[in-house]
Amino acid sequence: MKKTLNINIGNSIILIEEDAYEMLTAYLNEIKFHFSKNADHFEIVTDIENRIAEMFREILAQQQKQVIGIDDVQLIIAQMGSVKDFESADEAEESGYEDTISGVKKLYRDTDEAYVAGVCSGLSHYANVDAKWFRLLFLVSLFFAGSGLVAYLIMWILIPRAATRSQRMYMKGQPVNLHGFIRNFEEELAGNQLINRSRGFFVELAEAAGRLVRTLGKTFFKIIAALIIIFGTCFFLGLLVGLAVFFGFWDANPSDYYPLNIVNDDYLSSMVVAFFVALAVPIIALVLFAIRVAFNTRAINRTVSFALLVIWLGGIMVSIFYITKTFSEFKEEAAFTQVKELKRYDAYTLTLDRSRFFSKEDSVKYQINTDKYRGKVILNDMDDPFNLPRNVRLNIEKSEDGRVTLTQNNSSHGKNFEVALIHAQNIRYDFSQQDSLLNFSPFLQLNRNTNWRDQEVELTLKVPVGVKLFLKDDMDRLNFSFDYWSCDGEEARKIWVMTEEGLKCGVPN
């Protein structure tokens, strides 16, 4: 069953099927457009229309039928010739002729590809932008007081639905000529699309609601996927930047800095690469999966995913290998002790000295010109994230023999005792006495090219009974072995005195 139309062509009334009518209209439009530059276009087109009408009448009479179908129109077009044929005939004369009316686009709602009412897909055809961006725009605008919803409803009502084939072709900007027509028709057959017949607003509304619920779930997953894509990509880029920084975009030697100096220089690079692979591959996989969910693209090539898996496993294995290897370098512990005798005073002031002492090697490295820095003190930054853990402990004990001594115990780990001892020897700790002022450094330093092996410095200050100790404000940055924090009161914690029973705090006078 097909709808038929009554048309008046060449002063004849012809009954024609709807699809045949659309094709004929497109054909005549094409002809009109083609001859529109010709001064006699009206006459030519009238002649052609008259002839078409005549041929219709002949067909109807010959085949004894009532209605012109699409086959008949095709037959006539074949006989009359398409615009292409005309073109080659008058090429020499009018070479300026431009191909059909392909540029013409009209705004319709595309209910065939609709999520709700086809506004977004219609806009997408019009603007030649993928519909998902419009959908995203509307979705985002919902959060701005629902302005998008109002806009959507207005457009729903104002923009007509692409109901006929030529409207759909105008919507998609396909040339509404014979070629476009046939192509569109074939596409439709291939896609087995159903033509939505005209429906009322409320029927559409109900259907739209159903579609909305169905697609909302899908949309939710897509939003999650989009977030994964965004954050995954950022994280991946971050990793890349980190890797780039490690491999030489940074002008310092990164392996000098904690925590990278935990790892032996020999395999630090391999280990960083292994870590990078172990982290980056799952992120890539996650992002690819999210892209697949969000854009309904095909799964990535099986070989590629298998290769990724192998690379990832390789990265993991290498990482584990180096981690265990690094841990094994902490196996043995070694320590040695130096005792320094201090000048005897009745009271000492203990202070934290952040001024930095440079070895000769350091002075060369940092290009310290002695003239330039004369009389100036370079301070260590206490809160630098690349500082070593503050493994300096201070203990204060009672001296039995009346002498004042400072015992410095350097300890370190290593894969064997010998290496551990070397590491312990590579500790530099700055302590100095200026009369009754004792300067402690807040942290230990490692000689260059020494790995971090949990080096510790334990200081034991032995003072006889009766000696008073004044602790300056920032001394609490050190770790104390004695019970510093159990002493109540900030002021009290600044004054300590050695008694027969041990160290006491906050004793007045």
Partner 1 sequence: MIAENTQTQMRKGILEYCVLLIISKGEIYASDIIAELKKARLLVVEGTLYPLLTRLKNNGLLSYNWVESTSGPPRKYYLLTIEGKEILTKLDITWMELSYAIETSKQTKS
Q: Which residues contact 320 (CB under 8 A, 6 or more apart)?
A: none
- Among 4, 7, 10, 183, contact with partner 1 (rule: CB under 8 A): 10
Between residues 81 and 402, which has the closer beta carbon with respect to partner 1? Answer: 81
Between residues 92 and 213, which has the closer beta carbon with respect to partner 1? Answer: 92
Pairing of strands 445-446, 427-428: antiparallel
By CB under 8 A, tell whether 66 contacts partner 1: no
- Among 88, 367, 370, 486, contact with partner 1 (rule: CB under 8 A): 88
How far is the C-alpha of 95 from the C-alpha of 87, rounded, in Å?
9
Q: Which residues contact 487 (CB under 8 A, 6 or more apart)?
A: 493, 505, 506
By CB under 8 A, tell whether 26 contacts partner 1: no
By CB under 8 A, tell whether 89 contacts partner 1: yes
CB 61 → partner 1: shortest distance, Å?
Answer: 7
Query: Do 104 and 170 form a contact (C-beta atoms < 8 A)?
Result: yes
- Among 71, 91, 346, 418, contact with partner 1 (rule: CB under 8 A): 91
Instruction: Tell me the Ramachandran region of residue 318: left when phi exceeds 0, alpha when psi lies from -120 to 50, beta otherwise.
Output: alpha
Between residues 8 and 338, which has the closer beta carbon with respect to partner 1? Answer: 8
CB 180 → partner 1: shortest distance, Å?
Answer: 18
- Among 4, 25, 38, 395, contact with partner 1 (rule: CB under 8 A): 38
Selected range binding partner 1 among 84-92, 142-150, 246-254, 451-459, rule: CB under 8 A: 84-92
Query: Do 9 and 49 form a contact (C-beta atoms < 8 A)?
Result: yes
Using CA atoms, how far residue 3 sits from 20, 21, 177, in Å, is 10, 10, 22
By CB under 8 A, tell whether 380 contacts partner 1: no
Using CA atoms, how far residue 364 sits from 360, 370, 425, in Å, is 6, 11, 22
By CB under 8 A, tell whether 54 contacts partner 1: yes
CB 70 → partner 1: shortest distance, Å?
Answer: 19
By CB under 8 A, tell whether 272 contacts partner 1: no
Return the SS3 of 227.
helix
By CB under 8 A, tell whether 43 contacts partner 1: yes
By CB under 8 A, tell whether 270 contacts partner 1: no
CB 181 → partner 1: shortest distance, Å?
Answer: 17
Binding footprint of partner 1, residue count (CB under 8 A):
30
Return the SS3 of 285.
helix
Closest CA to 27 of 166, 171, 168: 166
Between residues 179 and 472, which has the closer beta carbon with respect to partner 1? Answer: 179
How far is the C-alpha of 326 from the C-alpha of 187, rounded, in Å?
64
Selected range binding partner 1 among 55-63, 116-124, 374-382, 483-491, rule: CB under 8 A: 55-63
- Among 5, 7, 80, 163, contact with partner 1 (rule: CB under 8 A): 80
Structure token pair of residue 452: 């971090």
Closest CA to 199 of 120, 117, 125: 117
How far is the C-alpha of 216 from the C-alpha of 36, rounded, in Å?
50
Return the SS3 of 366.
coil
Entry field: residues in the chain:
509
Partner residues linked to 161 by β-bridges: 109
By CB under 8 A, tell whether 24 contacts partner 1: no
CB 83 → partner 1: shortest distance, Å?
Answer: 8
- Among 1, 92, 194, 252, contact with partner 1 (rule: CB under 8 A): 92
Cα dihedral 146, 151, 154, 159 sign: negative
Q: What H or E segment, with its residue span, contains residue 9?
A: strand 4-9
CB 10 → partner 1: shortest distance, Å?
Answer: 7
What own/partner pairs with CB < 8 Å and gap ≥ 24 does 111-114 have?
Answer: 111/161, 111/162, 111/196, 111/204, 112/168, 112/193, 112/196, 114/208, 114/211
- Among 6, 85, 303, 491, contact with partner 1 (rule: CB under 8 A): 85
By CB under 8 A, tell whether 35 contacts partner 1: yes
By CB under 8 A, tell whether 59 contacts partner 1: no
Q: Which residues contact 423 (CB under 8 A, 6 or more apart)?
A: 334, 412, 413, 414, 450, 451, 453, 455
- Tally of CB atoms within 10 A around 162: 25
By CB under 8 A, tell whether 459 contacts partner 1: no
By CB under 8 A, tell whether 50 contacts partner 1: yes
CB 12 → partner 1: shortest distance, Å?
Answer: 6
Selected range binding partner 1 among 53-61, 191-199, 404-412, 417-425, rule: CB under 8 A: 53-61
Selected range binding partner 1 among 47-55, 113-121, 126-134, 263-271, rule: CB under 8 A: 47-55
Between residues 101 and 107, which has the closer beta carbon with respect to partner 1? Answer: 101
By CB under 8 A, tell whether 90 contacts partner 1: yes
By CB under 8 A, tell whether 79 contacts partner 1: yes
By CB under 8 A, tell whether 47 contacts partner 1: yes
Residues that bind partner 1 (CB under 8 A): 10-12, 31, 35, 38-40, 43-44, 47-48, 50-51, 53-54, 57-58, 61, 79-82, 85-86, 88-92
